[in-house]
Amino acid sequence: MTQRRLLQLIIAVLALVPISAGLAGVLTGPGFLTTSPPWSNDLDSHVRFLSGVFLVLGLAWWSCIPHIETKTERIRLLGAATFVGGLARLYSLILVGAPTAGHLVGLGLELVAVPLILLWHSRLSTDPRREA
């Protein structure tokens, strides 16, 4: 498998995380976080809004898959947004303690996997011998 195809496959699979979590949050509100009602209307509204943003973030990652080697600016912006979200999640971990395992996996993806993907993409998009 070529480096280009492998990167496309990894992004396709990893983007399923924000897509599925975003969709779950839009459809169920805070309930997908194993939280029991009642919760405030403001919390429900906020969780559903951020879940919509999360859903679009995953779809935007998917939009980079075709012609991935030419999507440098978009991939950098998505990577920065994802990384900053991870920093916010890390701040929460420091302030209030460890979240559930799923959120810890997300933290690892946001702060470790995404920077590695950005480095890999940078190498792929600037290599004059890049594979077609």
Of 71, 60, 53, give the one whose Cα is nearest residue 4: 71
Q: Round to whole Å and give the CA distance between 76 and 74.
A: 5
Q: Round to whole Å and give the CA distance between 55 and 28.
A: 14
Q: What pLDDT is attached to residue 127? A: 55
Q: How many angstroms separate the first and last alpha carbons of the chain?
A: 12
Q: Round to whole Å and give the CA distance between 58 and 53.
A: 9
Q: Round to whole Å and give the CA distance between 132 and 127.
A: 11
Residue 126 has pLDDT above 80, yes or no: no
Q: Which residues have CB under 8 Å from 61's CB, separation 6+?
A: 11, 14, 15, 18, 78
pLDDT digit string, tens, across residues 80-99? 999 999 999 999 999 999 99
- Do 110 and 86 form a contact (C-beta atoms < 8 A)? yes
Residue 108 has pLDDT above 60, yes or no: yes
Q: What pLDDT is attached to residue 34? A: 82
pLDDT digit string, tens, across residues 12-65? 999 999 999 999 999 999 998 888 889 999 999 999 999 999 999 999 999 999
Domain ranges of the chain: 3-126
Enter the pTM of the model.
Answer: 0.89
